[in-house]
Structures are given as C-alpha cells and as structure tokens.
Chain A
Amino acid sequence: MKLRVISYFFFFVISSLALMGAGKYLYAPTPIDFKIPPGFPKPPTNIFTKNKLTEEGFQLGKKLFYDGRLSKDGEVSCASCHQQFAAFATYDHDLSHGVNNSFSTRNAPALINLAWMKEWHWGGGINHLEVQPLFPLSAENEMGEKLDTVMIKIKKDSAYRRMFREAFGSGEISSERMLKALAQFTGSLVSADSKYDKVKRGEAKFILPEQKGYEIFKARCNTCHKEPLFTDNSYRNNGITLNRFKDVGRQGITLQNSDSLKFKVPTLRNSALTLPYMHDGRFTFLDKVLDHYTNLDTTLVNLDPALQKKIVLTFKEKQQLLLFLYTLTDTTFTKNKRFAP
C-alpha cells in the first residue's frame, strides 16, 4: 500500500516536471571548436571566451555580414567592401564606395586571421572585435546608417527572429547579440592553407625561385611581417608620406607625436589578391611596394628602426620575392563555401 502511494507520487512529480519542460523552447546550439592551425601562436585574447562560438551564431553573423539592410540605402553590406575573392578586402580599389556615391578615406583591410589581433583598423582605434562594425555601420562615407534604425529593420524579419533565437536562446534582437554574432563570423575567417602552409606541413615544396624569395623574405621582411601570421600587428612608420586626407594613422588614436604616420602592419597572406596597397591604396601592384622599400630615404624622421638599413634588391631578387609572396595566396580560404553567402 505504502509503496503504491509513493510510486503514484513519484509518477506525478516526474510527469509534472516533463510538462514544465515541454513549455520551454529547447535551446541547444551546436558548439564550434575554434581550431588554431598548426604552427600558429595562441591568439593574444580569446575572443570566443565570453562569446561562445556556435554554428547558429556563425550563420547569423554571416547573414548579417552579407545583409545590405545594415546600411542606409539597403545596398552596402559589410561584404561590399570585404569581398571573399579578394580575401575580404576591396579588390582593385584604393578606396571603397559608401552610400550616396561616397568614398572611404582608407583602403579596406583584408579580414584575415582577425582572431590573432588585439586591435583593429589601420590606426588600431578598435579595442574589441565585437565593436568594430559600429564604425563602418555609422560612418557617413561607408554604410551611413544609425544603429537604432538597423535594429528596427532586422527586427521586422522573421528569419532573423528565428536565427537570433537559435543562436542565443530567445528571439530578442539586441545590438549586443548582433555584434557578437558578427564577431563569430569575422573571427572565424582563418587563412592557413596557402602553398606556404602546405610547404610548412610537408605537403608541398617550393620551386627554386620561391625558395630564394623565402630566403630574401626571412632576411629583410620577417621583422614586421612575422611568420606565420605575416604581421606582428604593430604600428610602424614605413616612410610613406602624409596623404591628402592628412591621415596621421596611429597618432590620431593615441595623440602621441611619436606615433605620427604609424600604421598597422598588414598581413602578407593573400597579398596578391588585396591590391592596391598601403592604408590609402597608393601602390597599385606588389612590385610598386617593393620599389617603395628599395627606394626609401632611410634618413626620414620617425622612420621605423627596422627600415633604417637600406634594402637593396636586384630585379631578379624582387621577382623571386614576388614569387614567394604569391605562395601566400590561400584559395581554400577565398573559395571556402562556408564563408560565402
């Protein structure tokens, strides 16, 4: 008798718990393990610690990245200036097009291995990957839109409401969630499968001129464009002159005179695709960049110490260096369907 009472009670408790559970939405995002490619260092800060990388978050971030509704005229998306085939830079444009036929004042940087950076933009003004989109989104010569208007637009879309729920557990669409999702996508843009990487992994071999170019690279370029990221993410004055926009680079962020005309060292990965070069796209092709360094006046004020020793390269050596740089092109990255809309 006692046993029966207890089992009835037990049954009642279990079934009521089950009913309570059924009333709630089952939130089960698929976690993604962010893999550090072989030979790569650990990222300086883990951008996915507080923003758990999930398949649902990544997919939401991708949808936002390719959505023109983030701009004032509905036409300019993040991807307008960050094109996958150009390793997420703007192909063959010194400056990029914003809304109302406007132009940016800087060359769109390629979005490559952003998870290994501590600061973003040419002057390093952005201190966290999640807040980076707020700049292009609101800049009048980029996407020109107000954040509150963006929120209104995406809240209207039932697909977004579903995707926000899948990624974050409820359909609430907030700027925090939108920015976190975008960071899940952009932080996942890892390029580590170029011929160079294959050589390093023992899966391919450099041809002789590539190998010679690699030797030159290691002797003269590796200080700033440090392997395997091909940047040390520092700010350096490489001797380029003040441009028509009076862009002083890092100095504009820190207000220190010693930072005048310092810009972030860009990665050389996929550099064959990210033409033109420098913060304002002043050099059309890679050979022009090499010419800049060999013709550099090493007595310039504030010139980076690493460049104060004259770089001398013969025409042949330049060709070899270029061939090496071409081995940094990663078509697995530029053709990865996972990063495509």
Chain B
Amino acid sequence: MNKFILFLFCIISAASSFGQKAIAKKKSFISVQFDHTANGKSIVLNDSTYTTAFGEKYKLSKLKYYISNLTFITGKKVKPNKNVSLINAAGDQTIKVEKPLLPTTGIEFWVGVDSILNCSGAQSGALDPLNDMFWTWNTGYVMFKLEGTADSSNADLQRLEQHIGGYKGEFKTMRKVFIPIDKKYFTDKKRGADKIVINVNLDNYWNGKNKIRISEQPMITTIGNAAKDAAENLEGMFSVKNTD
C-alpha cells in the first residue's frame, strides 16, 4: 500500500516536471534581416544592371552565402549560437535569434562555416549538398556564391561566377564580422526592435581591401589565391542599416 502511494507520487511528480519544461519561460526572439544592395539600390536578381567601382557592368542571377555563429555581444559571455543559416537573395534572408537582455555593443557572425562543419560528412538543413553550396571533388562548402553575367567577362556566355570557398590553412575563406550597434537598440522601450536589418553592400565586394576586376577573374570556382583575395572583401560588405 505504501509502495503504491510512493509509486504514484513518482509518476505525478515526473508528469508535472514534464509540464514545467513545456511552459519554460518564453524567450523573445529577434529577426536579423540581410538586405542586399549595389549602387545604392536594392538588388533585384535577373533584372537590373549594376556597375563595379571599376566601371564593369554586371547582372546577378544568384547570391547565396552562409552566416554562422551569429551572436549579440553583451558584457556577459554567452554561449555562441552554433546555428548555420544559408542566406539566399532568392529565398530566405532572415535569421531568428534570441533577443539579448543586456545592453548590446554589437553583432558578431561568420560569413561561411567553420572547418569542423567542412569535415563532418553528410549533413542536412542549410548544409545539405542539395543547396548547391558544396564542392564534390575537393570537399568543402562554398562560403559565398555570386553568379550572373558581365560585359567584361571573357568566359563562355560572359558568365560571372564567384564561388568563394576553402577552409584549410592559407586558403581559408570564412571571415568573422563584427558590427557595432547602438547600446540602446534593444533596451530603450521606444526602440524595442524585434528586427535588425544588416545591409550587405555588394559594391564593397569588388572594391574592398582588394580590388577585384571582373575582366581579370570572372570565374572563381576553386580554392586558391583568387578566392582568398575575394574573401578579404567579405567583411567590409556588412553594416547595420539605420532603420526605425
């Protein structure tokens, strides 16, 4: 009899603890949205013509890249967000992350995915090879992919393909980005934003630390110096858009 009561007690307490988990305190989330621009205009794929700083005209058909470990930097150390997202100008352009509860100095993320994920075999979600961001002959993810056409391209059909990848040694292409954010961005109730917009300025892809001329390198489809040089420009493309 006593044993029965004890057993019952166990079941009830187990059940109630399950219930508590289900209604764990509600976290609030914020959407980080990536807006793509060139020449001061929003990018429209397969439509507008843009011009690089070196006067080379190009059109875009694809713009995809990985954003990983996106974290808000506060005074307190937080567990880094290990998620990986594939931002696609023709698809998903927002990442939902937990809203920081403390004043934030900035947002940090990697463009690309780390070497461990490049060596982890078959994966799903953003890292599914079906996303066409995977090199099959020299294993590794394409961190950043831009495709289109350009007048100055000497490639077949005036193709423009910038597949920036490589995760090992001197040919690493993933780049860490830190963007400062106004301290009050999240704490000030009037600006209690649930969205933050990151501007991704393609002009800086061509004209950054390195000067990239389409006529010289219309096709980058392997690891190497060209991909490494282009990767140096990735960081400078990202800034926080001054929105409401």
Per-position 1/0 for B1-34, Cβ under 8 A of A? 1001101100100000000000000000000000
B123 within 8 A of A: yes
Beta-carbon contact of A174 and B8 below 8 Å:
no
Beta-carbon contact of A176 and B128 below 8 Å:
yes
B157 within 8 A of A: no
Return chain A residues, CB-CB under 8 Å to B171: 255
Residues of chain B touching chain A, judged by Cβ–Cβ distance below 8 Å, are 1, 4-5, 7-8, 11, 118-124, 128-130, 134, 136-140, 171, 223-224
Beta-carbon contact of B136 and A183 below 8 Å:
no
Contact of A128 (CB < 8 Å), options: B7, B120, B223: B120
Residues of chain A touching chain B, judged by Cβ–Cβ distance below 8 Å, are 2-3, 6-7, 9-10, 13, 47, 50-51, 121, 125-131, 134-135, 137-139, 147-148, 151, 174-180, 183, 252-253, 255
On whether A127 and B119 interact (CB within 8 A), knowing A13-B11, A135-B136, the answer reads yes
Interface of B is mostly: loop
Beta-carbon contact of B4 and A134 below 8 Å:
no
- State A127–B118 Cα separation when bound (angstroms): 9
Min CB distance B244 to A, Å, is 40
On whether A151 and B130 interact (CB within 8 A), knowing A9-B8, A176-B124, the answer reads yes
Return chain A residues, CB-CB under 8 Å to B1: 2-3
Return chain A residues, CB-CB under 8 Å to B4: 3, 6-7, 10
Return chain A residues, CB-CB under 8 Å to B124: 174-176
- State A47–B224 Cα separation when bound (angstroms): 29
Q: List 15 A-B contacts (CB under 8 A).
A: A6-B5, A7-B4, A125-B137, A127-B140, A128-B120, A128-B139, A131-B121, A148-B130, A151-B130, A174-B128, A175-B124, A176-B124, A180-B121, A252-B138, A255-B223
- State A178–B130 Cα separation when bound (angstroms): 12
On whether A126 and B139 interact (CB within 8 A), knowing A7-B4, A9-B8, A175-B122, the answer reads yes
- State A139–B137 Cα separation when bound (angstroms): 9
Shortest 5 CB-CB contacts between residues of A and residues of B: A130-B121, A179-B122, A128-B121, A130-B122, A134-B136
- State A129–B123 Cα separation when bound (angstroms): 13
On whether A50 and B121 interact (CB within 8 A), knowing A10-B4, A255-B223, the answer reads yes
Min CB distance A149 to B, Å, is 11
Return chain B residues, CB-CB under 8 Å to A2: 1
Q: A3-B1, A180-B121 are in contact. List 20 more A-B contacts (CB 8 A).
A: A9-B8, A10-B4, A10-B7, A10-B8, A47-B121, A125-B138, A125-B139, A128-B122, A128-B139, A131-B134, A134-B134, A135-B137, A147-B129, A147-B130, A148-B130, A174-B128, A175-B122, A175-B129, A180-B122, A183-B122
Closest to B5 in A: A6
Return chain B residues, CB-CB under 8 Å to A151: 130
Min CB distance A140 to B, Å, is 12
Beta-carbon contact of B11 and A134 below 8 Å:
no
Closest to A45 in B: B119
Min CB distance B220 to A, Å, is 13
Min CB distance A84 to B, Å, is 24
Return chain B residues, CB-CB under 8 Å to A178: 122
Contact of B8 (CB < 8 Å), options: A6, A134, A137: A6
Closest to A9 in B: B8
Closest to B224 in A: A255
Return chain A residues, CB-CB under 8 Å to B119: 127-128
Beta-carbon contact of A131 and B11 below 8 Å:
no
